[in-house]
Structure 1
Amino acid sequence: MTPAAIEQETLELLEWPRLADQLASFTATAAGRRHCRTLPLPSALEESRTLLAETAELLGLDGLTEGGLSLQGVADIAASVNLCAKGGTASGEDLLQLAATLAAARRLRRQIEDPALRPVTTALVTELRTLPELEQRLRFCLEEGGRVADRASVPLAALRRQLQGARAERRERLQELLRRWAPLLQDTVIAERHGRPVLAVKAGAAGQVPGQVHDSSASGQTLFIEPQAVLGLGNRIIDLEGQERELEQVLLRELSGEVAVHAAALEVLQAILVRLDVALARARYGAWLGAVRPELGSTAEDPFELRDLRHPLLLWQQKRQGGHPVVPVTVSVAPELRVVAITGPNTGGKTVTLKSIGLAALMARAGLFLPCSGTPRLPWCGLVLADIGDEQSLQQNLSTFSGHIRRIARILEALQSTAGGAPGAPATTAGGAALVLLDEVGAGTDPVEGAALATALLQHLAGCARLTVATTHFGELKALKYADPRFENASVAFDEETLAPTYRLQWGIPGRSNALAIARRLGLEASVIEQAARQLQPRGEGEVNQVIAGLEEQRQRQQEAAEEAAALLVRTELLHEELLSRWQQQQQQSAELQEQRRQQLEHSIREGQQEVRRIIRRLRQSGGGRRPDTAVLGETARQAGRRLKHLEQQHRPLPERRQHAGWMPVVGERVRVLSLGKAGEVLELTDDGRELTVRCGVLRLSVPVEGIEGLQGEKPTPPEVKVRVQGRRGLAAPGPDVRTERNTVDVRGLRVHEAEAAVEETLRAANGPVWVIHGVGTGRLKRGLRAWLDTLPYVERVTDAERSDGGPGCSVVYTH
């Protein structure tokens, strides 16, 4: 069996198709649902990282867009395009759906395009060719429901007028015959038989009504006759209807031929739309699960860090079907570990843990977020292999010992065929890390031989797989940790008081079977239990269980101590916040007191200055400077005034300085993203300091430095930019400001939205100004286009053309 076949078998064992069906329920198109139900797994690390980036970008856009990002109007056009490419004729309804898909693709491209916030999806939609000319042609020729419009063809319009006249004439003649032959008729309603209008004539009066009999009633009392007077008109109408169908088919063939010309571009468009639909489904599925974006390691040696991992299928069951709350497990595997042996009682959650780890590796590889807390980290697993046959699977597939051995043999063969690297370090594969999941390894045979086989198998897998997680009841496997540093023990906890599993995973401690405790609680005779305990003593299992029990008690005491330390830390933080608040209040009060004293001093200085002025004024009134003593007193008063003014200047408050001038964020600092209104952590700064990467929750954004501020309102001061002036040469030079056929678009007679599509396509291909001929008319088309052009960021200005180029009936659009 090939590695792909055994991996497909692993997907079935892990119930991956169920998860794919759940993901498909979040898609918006039929093609997206088909893709999700198969859900192919990427074959390279970079593909998975690209898918994760698409999921994150569309998750952010979906949350910012009112009503969410919509794929309304997107249809599955693959079959229609394939039919047209092979020379076939598509139906009018299919062609109209293709036009709606082109319009929806253009709308999505406008919503998604933002290289700064969404670089990956922007690069994806830039490959879209929305073909506005083809869309306009299809909408012009087709009406609602796919009917070919009269305006599509002059001969068709003329033929339909003839057909309409003939039908009206036949209807008038039939109404006249109804009135004339009323006594001969069973009913005064014009019926239809075999596509021809007939009158319900009494059987006895059939000879009085000339015409062709098409049918009779079950009793034979009524004959349905097409009157002779309308037979010719009926034949003519049938002939005209045939001509109408032929003309319609001619037009549909022409439209199908135009679609065939653009078949390659339409196939690319269909693939991109499906990819966007699936990426949006991944984003919405992850948000519904409360999942977070994982980080995929570049090497197979990277650790597994999955905190509070919840099984996605059980989480779906809890939310959709009201199941029991899902108990999370934490998986922490250091780079040097190769094998984790999980022990514990049955129904304790060992198999669920296995499946959770396997699904987490597959979900991260497929671009899905993981239902964890924090930031999950794990290597990219290019090969996930499993041997799981338990009573908890939906298929009730209880594997025998031989079935287990055959499957394990295929796993070893797959590992050997994909192994790469040196023999001394075979824990990686050419396609990334290899993850092996084994349930009840070595079970189904003699316990002694089964334990020996399981030990040898796990030691072999430690050298050829990045990580092997195995569940077992064999006590011999618990001791491997103490002889080989590549091994680790884990166990599922069990409450002996309630005889119920807690489903919590404990690392570093092997589990106990608890068989004797369960038997005692269930009322088994005490003598039997004592005899069983004596049987265990010679083998040393009693002492082992006592050691395990002691370790569990120690773990419990450590857990309680950790909880007490956490509570103490919380109280310390609260005390620190209270002290800080009081210090700030004291600082504020001190500042207010200083301000009061300064104001009092200023008041005293002003009073002193007024008193000096009064003294000087009295001296001047008493005779000025004629007496020597008066002059001395006046000089003394002026000097006192100068000193008071100097004191006032010294105690005058300094102008408020900008507290945040020159501030720039650093890596690790938290800032506020203005476009989102949310706080985030700075992850990276560009070399020029003009852009930075910020993480807001699950989003990683690249924003300009002007788009953020500090949590206290600090405005960043970006570094000076050295401007380099470089001339444009060659193909990059702007086009001439001369009107030509290539830079002119005629939109007269189009609706505003049709004109927008035509102008936008011309602007994208233009290298200079564009002349838009819209005519004068009522002015609605010109006003609509001008209002739309004002919203485009790359449009610099719009003016009326010169009189020789059309004047007010033509607009010239200048772009940056």
Structure 2
Amino acid sequence: MIQSETLELLEWNRLCQHLATFAATKLGAIAARQLKIPDSQAESTQLLAQTKEVYQLESRISPSLSFEGIQDIGDSLERAELQGILGGDELLAIATTLSGSRNLRRIIDNQEDLPILTELVADLRTYPELEQEIHRCIDERGQVTDRASQKLGEIRTELRRLRSQITQKLQNILQAKSGAVQEQLITQRGDRFVIPVKATHKDAIPGIVHDTSTSGATLYVEPHSIVPWGNQLRQTIRREQTEEEAIRRGLTEQVAAVKPDLERLLAIVTTLDLATARSRYSFWLGANPPRFIDWADTESITLRQLRHPLLVWQHQHEQSPAVIPVDLLINPHIRVVTITGPNTGGKTVTLKTLGLAALMAKVGLFVPAREPVEIPWFSQVLADIGDEQSLQQSLSTFSGHIRRISRILNAVGSEKGLGNGDWGLGDNEESSIPHAQSPMPHAQSLVLLDEVGAGTDPAEGSALAIALLQYLADHAGLTVATTHFGELKALKYEDERFENASVEFDESTLSPTYRLLWGIPGRSNALAIAQRLGLKLEVVETAKTHLGGATDEVNQVIAGLEAQRRRQETKAAEAQNLLQQAERLYKEVSTKAANLQEREKALKVSQEAAVQQAIAQAKGEIAQVIRRLQQGTPTAQDAQQATNALNQIGQKFQPAAPAKPKVGFMPKVGDRVRISQFGQTAEVLVAPDEDGELTVRFGIMKMTVKLEDIESLDGQKAEPIVKPKPAPAPVTPAAPPALAIRTSKNTIDIRGKRVADAELLLDKALAEATGPIWIIHGHGTGKLRQGVHNYLQQHPRVSKYEAAEQVDGGSGVTVAYVG
């Protein structure tokens, strides 16, 4: 009884009515309005799996699943079993239902990864031979066709002959007696053919009067000459009806023979339609699939941005205000949540939203909350919401609450597996472990209490509410209660299983924000509201003196906590905005860098193509010169002409010579110079002496070089030192640079990185490098290696790069020389 009361309090029937509007068949709509709530978690999981697969299926195909032709044939099947004769419309409905069911099975069988739906339609028997026989015998209007039997065809031929004879005879009478008839018309009264005769000329056409017009001026007469044909027509029509009935009886017997399979077909199609309705309703709500969690496995309830489904419907269809979502994040050790705050602040709506979310998950519906949606499978959802007054039973609000709460406690206590034994306690044994460590029972009830303990003396009501919540903490899975009693706020600090929450209230506008704040009890706003609404200040101040200073201090502490939370939420929102901006800028920079690399690559390809074209053209012209020399006996004059032609070709295609370096550069200590012999950049350690020799360092190696072997970074040659009497001196060849040794410090591994990320690492490594570095990029598709080479080619510190020795990785490693 209490569970049906809970469904009524939560307005579950309204939600079922909304769900029914998404059903495609009459049976599906009936099943949605009478939605059964499962008794086991396994059944709920099965229903959720059906909803998910239909959701997945309809996202793949277009148009959506079609239930066209499927009708409610249950009554027809019952009558067929009782040997009644089905009408043509009923037989046609059975045929279209078989066809529509076969089409559904075909769509599901053609898709992959739908194990639940495939198993559901595996037992679907659609009897195509029965469908074909019905369509052979019954036309689209539900009438028996001529081809249904040879006998019926012959009877219909005879009928057409008789009607033609009667019509022709009457037509002749109309022409012959045109003055006696009201109009040139042949009509029927019952199954007899008649003509309209003027009442004043009834003797002109003797016959049987079957009807009279309202005014009495027209008589509908069957002439005596066609009466025998009319009688023969009536007998033939009866023979036709008898044969049609025999045909329908035969089809009905075929239907009755497969009645169990057709009933099974109806059940499967209804199940599929209901799953489709759940999927489409969930999609319309913007809901997400829930996951049933196990509190014993320390999983928390997670319902972020949870919306009341009935309020969403009102907003969409009745232009009511937008739905304000709430966040419900409840740790696994919490057993009781007390929600405090002002009236009309959304406390009751929060209770109903949680109750509906639990029920929706149980019946296989998605929950209108942001992913992830994680909620336990509650064995029962029990609620005491709203006032229960009865003048007939002399029940007050308090009495009504107590009666309903008593039924709730009985329902919780009757759950299998509950009781002290399940909590590890003996009958008279006290637990020495904290409540938070108590094991959860297997059966879990969700209890929703609105204004617990209200309607009586505040002191007694508060004491009763505390005792009630403590009892439910021991025996129910989760209890959520709203209250105005301040004493209940302190339970959180006495028992770890209790948690506080409150609805936010904006004192500046004297209106609630409908936001749920966790961990903070609600403040009493009655005096503030009274003062803002114009109550005399002296009355408000007197009321404050009766409250005492402790209450005022508590309210100040709560106000401080609320302000601190608002500041934290503001900072979190700002940080989130900054993070989104940074991500957006990073994407823009990455896109621009990729575009630059693509343009550079395209330019390089075009330049290489131009060079190859020039080389090919030069080779062609040289070949022409050679062919001219080969024709006949070449003379000295021919050779000279060929030489001149080749020189012209060389001047045409040879790249311009580099400008001669400027002279006048004299290196000083600390300058950076380029050593032409090695193509390396070095730092001057000792200035040039009188012999024009100086000491430089590049990488980890020091060496002595001559002025003529170096140049400045901008290409200037060093100014030679002029000696008064240069004395010949043995030239000591410069020692070759010491071989660089690969270590972990000059090796960078970028395998698996994106090109943009690799460039950041390379830039840092090149900035810190004092010698060659080994870059491990691997082989792969070659895109990372090409990106590295493109980057090294344009880097100002890299003088050259090449593939590493085979022992160091070969083409999977690139050595970059820093100059």
Aligned-partner Cα distance in 2 for 1:589–1:218: 95
8 Å contact kept, 2:286–2:368: yes
Between 496-505 and 297-306, the greater mean CA deviation after superposition: 297-306
8 Å contact kept, 2:387–2:400: no
1:602 Cα deviation (Å)?
A: 12
| CA distance 1:146–1:300, shift in 2 (3 Å) | farther
* 1:234-271 residue CA offsets vs partner (Å, 9 max, x unmatched): 22222211111111111111101111111111111111
- In structure 1, the partner of 2:305 is 308
| CA distance 1:605–1:387, shift in 2 (3 Å) | same
| CA distance 1:97–1:592, shift in 2 (3 Å) | closer
Q: Paired residue for 1:413, among 393, 396, 410?
A: 410
* 1:338-370 residue CA offsets vs partner (Å, 9 max, x unmatched): 011011001111111111000000001111111
* 1:106-133 residue CA offsets vs partner (Å, 9 max, x unmatched): 1111111257421111111111111111
* 1:691-723 residue CA offsets vs partner (Å, 9 max, x unmatched): xxxxxxxxxxxxxxxxxxx9x99xxxxxxxxxx
Aligned-partner Cα distance in 1 for 2:218–2:605: 112
8 Å contact kept, 2:288–2:368: yes
- In structure 2, the partner of 1:322 is 319
Residue 365 of structure 2 corresponds to residue 365 of structure 1: no
Matching residue's letter, 1:409: S
Superposition pairs of residues 145-544 of structure 1, within 5 angstroms: 145-298=141-294, 302-389=299-386, 400-420=397-417, 422-424=421-423, 432-537=443-548, 540-544=550-554
| CA distance 1:600–1:107, shift in 2 (3 Å) | closer
Aligned-partner Cα distance in 1 for 2:174–2:609: 109
1:560 Cα deviation (Å)?
A: 2.0
Aligned-partner Cα distance in 2 for 1:347–1:399: 22
Aligned-partner Cα distance in 2 for 1:596–1:227: 103
- In structure 1, the partner of 2:560 is 550
Matching residue's letter, 2:42: E
**Structural RMSD (CA):** 3.5
Superposition pairs of residues 378-777 of structure 1, within 5 angstroms: 378-389=375-386, 400-420=397-417, 422-424=421-423, 432-537=443-548, 540-574=550-584, 576-577=586-587
Matching residue's letter, 2:422: P
| Structure with the greater alpha carbon radius of gyration | 2
- In structure 1, the partner of 2:682 is none
8 Å contact kept, 1:102–1:130: yes
1:198 Cα deviation (Å)?
A: 2.6
1:533 Cα deviation (Å)?
A: 1.0
- In structure 1, the partner of 2:809 is none
| CA distance 1:306–1:263, shift in 2 (3 Å) | same
Q: Partner of 1:323: helix, strand, or coil?
A: coil
* 1:390-437 residue CA offsets vs partner (Å, 9 max, x unmatched): 69xxxxxx971111111110111111112415431698676x431011
- In structure 2, the partner of 1:803 is none
8 Å contact kept, 2:300–2:331: yes
Q: Partner of 1:109: helix, strand, or coil?
A: helix
Q: Partner of 1:437: helix, strand, or coil?
A: strand
Matching residue's letter, 2:127: L
Tell me the TM-score normalised to structure 1 length. 0.69
- In structure 2, the partner of 1:83 is 79
Aligned-partner Cα distance in 2 for 1:173–1:43: 75
Aligned-partner Cα distance in 1 for 2:160–2:296: 75
| CA distance 1:591–1:155, shift in 2 (3 Å) | closer
8 Å contact kept, 1:300–1:380: no
Aligned-partner Cα distance in 2 for 1:322–1:164: 62
| CA distance 1:228–1:516, shift in 2 (3 Å) | same
Q: Partner of 1:545: helix, strand, or coil?
A: helix
8 Å contact kept, 1:343–1:350: yes
Aligned-partner Cα distance in 2 for 1:600–1:499: 78
Matching residue's letter, 1:263: K
Aligned-partner Cα distance in 1 for 2:251–2:586: 75
Greater relative contact order, per chain length (Cα 8 Å cut-off, separation 6+): 1
Matching residue's letter, 2:470: Q
8 Å contact kept, 2:504–2:522: yes
Between 504-513 and 308-317, the greater mean CA deviation after superposition: 504-513
8 Å contact kept, 1:428–1:465: no
Q: Partner of 2:454: helix, strand, or coil?
A: coil
Aligned-partner Cα distance in 2 for 1:347–1:579: 50
- In structure 2, the partner of 1:629 is none
Q: Paired residue for 1:97, among 93, 98, 115?
A: 93
Aligned-partner Cα distance in 1 for 2:350–2:396: 19
| CA distance 1:597–1:64, shift in 2 (3 Å) | closer
| CA distance 1:103–1:589, shift in 2 (3 Å) | closer
1:205 Cα deviation (Å)?
A: 3.1
* 1:121-155 residue CA offsets vs partner (Å, 9 max, x unmatched): 11111111111111111111111111111111111
Between 320-329 and 301-310, the greater mean CA deviation after superposition: 301-310
* 1:440-497 residue CA offsets vs partner (Å, 9 max, x unmatched): 1111111111111111101100111111111111111111101011000111111111
Aligned-partner Cα distance in 2 for 1:427–1:195: 83
Q: Partner of 1:491: helix, strand, or coil?
A: strand
Q: Any stretches of 5+ residues in structure 1 without a counterpart? A: 392-397, 614-620, 622-661, 664-709, 714-816
Aligned-partner Cα distance in 2 for 1:271–1:251: 28
Q: Any stretches of 5+ residues in structure 2 without a counterpart? A: 389-394, 425-437, 624-633, 635-750, 753-780, 785-819
Alignment size in residue pairs: 613
| CA distance 1:106–1:218, shift in 2 (3 Å) | closer
8 Å contact kept, 1:300–1:433: no
1:585 Cα deviation (Å)?
A: 7.7
Aligned-partner Cα distance in 2 for 1:303–1:247: 71
Aligned-partner Cα distance in 1 for 2:58–2:125: 23
Aligned-partner Cα distance in 2 for 1:166–1:66: 53
Question: Runs of 4 or more off by more than 4 Å in structure 1?
Answer: 298-302, 425-430, 574-606
Tell me the TM-score normalised to structure 2 length. 0.69
Matching residue's letter, 1:483: E
- In structure 2, the partner of 1:137 is 133
8 Å contact kept, 2:489–2:521: yes
Aligned-partner Cα distance in 2 for 1:47–1:513: 45
Percent of aligned pairs sharing the same letter: 49
Superposition pairs of residues 48-59 of structure 1, within 5 angstroms: 48-59=44-55
Q: Partner of 1:146: helix, strand, or coil?
A: coil
| CA distance 1:210–1:567, shift in 2 (3 Å) | closer
| CA distance 1:171–1:475, shift in 2 (3 Å) | same
Aligned-partner Cα distance in 1 for 2:590–2:201: 110
8 Å contact kept, 1:382–1:429: no
1:74 Cα deviation (Å)?
A: 1.2
Q: Partner of 1:144: helix, strand, or coil?
A: coil
1:605 Cα deviation (Å)?
A: 14
1:218 Cα deviation (Å)?
A: 4.0
8 Å contact kept, 1:490–1:510: yes
8 Å contact kept, 2:301–2:330: yes
